[in-house]
Structure 1
Amino acid sequence: MTVSMALNSATILGWVDSGYKRESELGAIRVGNLVRIRKWACSGGFSNLSGSQQKQPAIVIGRVADQKEGDVSRNKDSSSLPKPLSVADLSAAADCNSKVRISFKGILGSYSEAAALKAYPNCETVPCNEFEDAFKAVELWLADKAVLPIENTSGGSIHRNYDLLLRHRLHIVGEVQLAVNFCLLALPGVRIEQLKRVISHPQALEFSDKFLSKLGVARENVDDTAGAAMNLASNGLRDAGVVASARAAEIYGLNILAEKIQDDLDNVTRFLVLARDPIIPRTNKPFRTSIVFTLEEGPGVLFKALAVFALRDINLTKIESRPQRKRPLRVVDDSNTGSAKYFDYLFYIDFEASMAEPRAQNALGHLQEFATFLRVLGCYPMDTTL
């Protein structure tokens, strides 16, 4: 890739915010000169911040990521495990000498943590209470990157996370495709026929419907599969089982009574990896680009938007529409029919092309001609492994 092409693609990654202002300039970079913001931040670059954000304690709150993947022991005592971060904890900068930290929603043993470990096998994982906390952990330098699920082959899109992608200024720098293995776990010595109820996340229970129906057990919903495993182990519930990962069984000292109990054995969840800075797109491997845009109301406008990719032989892999939160309805006045109301949509699109390619740059330049707002969420290598 030539220097001029790299600068051109870098410009594309930083432009097109017509109609939307940055929530903050913190963390924004010009790819052309590769500003080392992390180094700057660790040398006192946050002096312009107020309150608790100026403080840089020697120890990251709670040491949330001390436990490495290889050091996991069969331990039912949850008090010694890292506690998930919440908004109240997100007030300090991370240690600049530590290895890569990945924030995620959930606790140790969740499928989001498994995705983080697939992307970065030697990383330190940072559990968070909510998806938004995982974003803020990166924005406030408690983590280097965040991993969040965006779609599942059985459950479809996770709409909440599309909204968060637009609300925050993080960049998509990678993706992870994780084959989901749902396991039935119970305390040591408990047999499967002794179970009277099974506890897990609603989707995990739904996706394992056939298996659980044969067992004839009651089902109880909780927010997190790994949280269900921890609760089972902590409270010694011998009449209950949980649907969770094999890693959760290892962490919380549970036995695996059955594996791959999901109805669809090819159940795959796609995760996005987010960072403060974008990566420079290249052409030496398959890349995917994610964008979001809005259009004026009118016949054939969406067709025209999609045609800019078809005309250049660019394959679209995803299209998602979401009503705009600040302006969900658009009023259209017409002298013949009076006023009409239409939903005002944001369109999210993934396409298979790198922003280092002229065809991708030309397609977005064409789209910008009639898009009222356009933003590149990220250009990143595709994950082709399962």
Structure 2
Amino acid sequence: MPSPARKNAPIPTWSRQWPALPPARATPAPSISAGPACRPATGRFTTILGSMRGAGPRWRLLSAGRPACWSSASGWSSCAPWSIICALRRPWSRPCRLAWIPPRTWSEPAPPWRPGRERLVVSFPWSAPSMSDPTVTVAFQGLPGAYSHMACTRLFPGWSVLPCPAFEDAFAAVREGRARHAVLPIENSVAGRVADIHHLMPDSGLFIVNEFFLKVSHHLLVVPGTPLESVKVVRSHVHALGQCRKFIKAHGLTAIVHADTAGAAAELAEQRRPNEAAIASELAGEFYGLESLCANIEDENHNTTRFLVMAREPVVPRDDLACITTFVFQVRNVPAALYKALGGFATNGINMTKLESYQVGGTFVATQFYADVEGRPEDAPLTRALEELGHFTKEVRVLGVYPAHPYRFAARKGLPAE
């Protein structure tokens, strides 16, 4: 059950733009028993959120309402005069009954987290299907053997993988139902942020449901039987070459940039040049039949890449998990707007772990900011901070609320990622 402070927290204006849960669809697990279909609507939609009292710690409800959106012109609207609450049944729980919660009126249904309205808590693992299910697919950008492929195998062992040539294709694979999740890199501890991801995520139509940190271990891959002394040229992605400068310089190698690490390994395996090598993952070497002459050749042993797991539907983590909230916003064109917009996070004790700016629309006029903060939007301190943010911004869009990966806490103690 949520704490009284969360349940009774005031409703900020920004919450009108919170992307509530879309309609529930049948999945292998957990099984969802839905009620009657929603009545079609022509406008935007909203969802009434709720949790069932006295049902025990493993009972949860899943709303089948439509995403909540706010438009200053149209205001609130709903897909039906009744919000459908569906029962989520796990093997260890008893079946729930369907609960029907009507909004106050058809013209003005209650937005999420209105006082007096119970809050929805969806408490099932973000990877609900079996962790070893070859019938479920996860998409990634790159060729087989890429570090994104390795992240997929760590996150979803036994799942089928779908390599995609571009990030847009990975997003599209999830939107079109060809993949359950997409695992995409967002930033690297040495090379910085991954280009294009910040531009693509807000308009992808997907939600962030989890994060994963992967320690990057570069290997010098060669055709089997090639001695290190005969290697004169090394090919890899520009970031991988930059992360192995000391090794490349120490051995007098000529670095040639390739589109990606796995692609460099695939090309070497195909052309079998005896005086060349590729810098890629150990998985790429196994996949393309190459030999690893040297392992862990990166300059920094803390070289870590952060990945985001994307899905078509948001998943609200369990109450006992520390969470990260990711959102984008545009400040108003007034003096000190960014300073004032971020002041609420400082005064409310919110830890902002990431803040980056980038241009939108191909101009230098509109600047959008991408931010990660610790906490959930319904937590009282973050509620107040986001409400203050809303006073100085044109738009605030929440991209996801998801569990904080354990590496975040291990890194503070100087421990490596997986």
Change (3 A) 1:304 1:13: closer
For residue 349 of structure 1, report the CA deviation from its aligned partner.
0.7
Q: Residue type matched to 1:104 in 2?
A: F
- Alpha-carbon separation, structure 1, partners of 2:151 and 2:14: 25
Secondary structure of 1:136 counterpart: helix
Q: Out of 174, 179, 190, which is 1:143 matched to? A: 179
Q: Residue type matched to 1:268 in 2?
A: T
2:367 maps to 1:378:
no
Secondary structure of 1:193 counterpart: helix
Change (3 A) 1:36 1:214: same
What corresponds to 1:100 in structure 2? 136
What corresponds to 2:214 in structure 1? 178
Of 177-186 and 121-130, deviating more is 121-130
Q: Map Cα deviations across residues 255-309 of structure 1 (whole Å, 9 max, x no partner).
A: 1100111111110111111110011144311110101011112222111111111
2:273 maps to 1:237:
yes
Q: Which has the higher helix share?
A: 1
Q: Residue type matched to 1:129 in 2?
A: P
What's the % identity of the aligned pairs? Answer: 35
Contact 1:281 1:355 survives alignment (8 Å): no
Q: Out of 340, 348, 353, which is 1:312 matched to? A: 348
What corresponds to 1:36 in structure 2? 25
Contact 2:268 2:277 survives alignment (8 Å): yes
TM-score normalized with structure 1 length: 0.73
Relative CO higher for 1 or 2, CA cutoff 8 Å, sep ≥ 6?
Answer: 1
Contact 1:9 1:281 survives alignment (8 Å): no
Q: Residue type matched to 1:314 in 2?
A: I
2:246 maps to 1:246:
no
For residue 102 of structure 1, report the CA deviation from its aligned partner.
1.2
What corresponds to 1:323 in structure 2? 359
Q: Please show how residues 187-206 of structure 1 align to structure 2 within 5 Å.
A: 187-206=223-242
What corresponds to 1:355 in structure 2? 377
Q: Residue type matched to 1:16 in 2?
A: Q
Q: Please show how residues 1-386 of structure 1 align to structure 2 within 5 Å.
A: 1-2=1-2, 15-16=16-17, 30-31=20-21, 35-36=24-25, 99-325=135-361, 328-329=363-364, 343-385=365-407, 386=417
What corresponds to 1:79 in structure 2? none
For residue 121 of structure 1, report the CA deviation from its aligned partner.
2.2
TM-score normalized with structure 2 length: 0.68
For residue 12 of structure 1, report the CA deviation from its aligned partner.
9.4
- Alpha-carbon separation, structure 2, partners of 1:288 and 1:282: 13
Unpaired stretches in structure 1, ≥5 consecutive residues:
18-28, 46-96, 330-342
Q: Residue type matched to 1:247 in 2?
A: L
- Between the two proteins, the alignment pairs up a number of residues equal to 305
Unpaired stretches in structure 2, ≥5 consecutive residues:
38-132, 408-416
CA-atom RMSD, angstroms? 2.8
- Alpha-carbon separation, structure 1, partners of 2:219 and 2:176: 35
Q: Residue type matched to 1:35 in 2?
A: A
Change (3 A) 1:190 1:285: same
- Alpha-carbon separation, structure 2, partners of 1:206 and 1:311: 40
Change (3 A) 1:134 1:7: farther
For residue 105 of structure 1, report the CA deviation from its aligned partner.
0.6
Q: Residue type matched to 1:36 in 2?
A: R
Contact 1:118 1:176 survives alignment (8 Å): no
Q: Map Cα deviations across residues 118-165 of structure 1 (whole Å, 9 max, x no partner).
A: 222232211000111000000111101111111111111123100001
Q: Residue type matched to 1:170 in 2?
A: L
